[in-house]
Amino acid sequence: MNSVLTDWRHRPTHSRVWALAAPMILSNISVPLVALVDSMVIGHLPHAHQLGAVAVGASLYTFLAWAMGFLRMGSTGFAAQAAGRNDGAALRQILLQGLLLALGLAMLLGTVGIPLSHLALEWMQPSPELNQLTRDFFHTRLFGLPAALASYALVGWFLGTQNARAPLAILLSTNLVNIALNLWFVLGLDWGVVGSARASVIAEWAGALLGLALTQKALRAYPGHIAWAALKMWESWRPLLAVNRDIFIRSLALQSVFFMITVQGARLGDATVAANALLLNGLLLTAHALDGLAHAVEALCGHAIGAHDRQALRRSWVVACGWSLIASVGFALLFTFAGHLFIAMQTDIPSVRETADMYLPYLAVLPLIAVWSYLLDGLFIGATRAREMRNGMLLTVLLVLPFAWALQSLGNHGLWITFLLFMALRSLTLWAIAWRLNRQNQWLG
């Protein structure tokens, strides 16, 4: 206990954590703000199926895009360790490999995305109006996929170099452009649901192009040259692909859980799927804010591991945990006492408001349960321990499946109870794996 207090009182570590976390919190919060603006703009159109179409269409797109989240997470861990070694050549190789992977995966997902979305919608069995608007929204969003995946790789790489300002510029520019165009296209030009999708596509390309421009300045801090011959060799790709494979499997399992919430909600009616989308916007707001601290863990712990500095690793972890706990309590209080205002801000459709208000207590509890999984993810990403992350997620999904089946009769209450249990088990399994690695002295190995 004394060592924990000593680590917490180390002021330089607080400064280093917040130097990374503060810009990332600002930029991360802009991501759910876009979803909030989408909901606010579309939610004030006259029909629930319009808001439902954005919720379902965005869920389909997010399932594809966020399953590729390994492009950011894999880049962060390797870039952080290369920066810890002051290896400029490795940093250039990681950047180029990430961008090449993003381009190839975007082409693949663009090819399979449309038929997969048709299958998903047949499975959901939505109303005819919701079905058609969802297809229009999703097909338009696919044009932004290459830029979105490139931005993942760029943000991860910048974080690994402990440069939080560039991700801030990328994400803020993307999301501010998205917000402005959403208001213009939907309300000004009356393009409706498709206008919201077009705004997102343009914004994603704007952010990716800005990120590419910013890499030039960042690389000057780490002299070196790209080993072009190494890029043609399988051995130079093996470590990154192995980590990305494991993070992909983990992300796919995680996104499947979020996608199932949308699927089950759609089966319970247009008002329920729309209400769940509004509540999940609250979770997104919380997760992206707390992820700012998790990103600091990724960069600082990865750098400490690259430099083999055990004390810096422990201090970074303790300080980030303390601030994350404080922030999660704040979000829990916010949703407890102002949750109704949060819902009312997003829509004026009575049936959606009433449904969302009924399930607000689940949203209020979520931050306190979910915060630990975000932090532990950051630790594992910084250490490039993707296999352990994958195993923890798969074990969590297997453990929660019997509960999901047993709670189906409770309708949407059962769905939210299952989700809370999933987040709790996710934290516990990662903690158990982290404890084992610490006992075996493997974090710096």
Task: Walk along the chain (445 residues) in steps of 10 and give the mean pLDDT of each run.
Answer: 78 86 72 61 62 70 74 78 78 87 88 76 66 78 88 87 84 85 83 82 92 86 73 72 81 78 71 81 83 82 78 87 92 92 83 88 93 90 84 92 86 89 93 88 70
Distance CA 32, CA 29 (A): 6
Is 105 among the domain residues? yes
Q: What is the pTM of this model?
A: 0.70
Is 226 among the domain residues? yes
Is 335 among the domain residues? yes
**Pair of tokens at residue 268:** 């319970």
Is 234 among the domain residues? yes
**pLDDT number for residue 27:** 66
Are 282 and 339 spatial neighbours (Cβ–Cβ below 8 Å)? yes
- Exposed, middle or buried by CB within 10 Å (0-12, 13-18, 19+), for 325? middle
**Which residue range(s) make up the domain with 292?**
2-439
Number of domains observed in the structure of the chain: 1
**pLDDT number for residue 432:** 93
Q: What is the dihedral of CA 322, 391, 164, 257, to 10 degrees?
A: -90
**Pair of tokens at residue 108:** 């693949």
Are 300 and 316 spatial neighbours (Cβ–Cβ below 8 Å)? yes
Burial 357-376, CB ≥16 within 10 A → b, else e: bebbebbbbbbebbbbbbbb
For residue 61, which of 242, 204, 246 has the smallest C-alpha distance?
204
Is 329 among the domain residues? yes
For residue 152, which of 71, 83, 264 has the smallest C-alpha distance?
71
**Pair of tokens at residue 394:** 């798969």
For residue 21, which of 323, 305, 312, 286 has the smallest C-alpha distance?
323
Is 166 among the domain residues? yes
Is 445 among the domain residues? no
**pLDDT number for residue 392:** 92
Is 444 among the domain residues? no
Find the radius of gyration of the CA atoms of the chain: 21
**pLDDT number for residue 332:** 94
**pLDDT number for residue 62:** 73
Which H or E run includes 247? helix 234-267
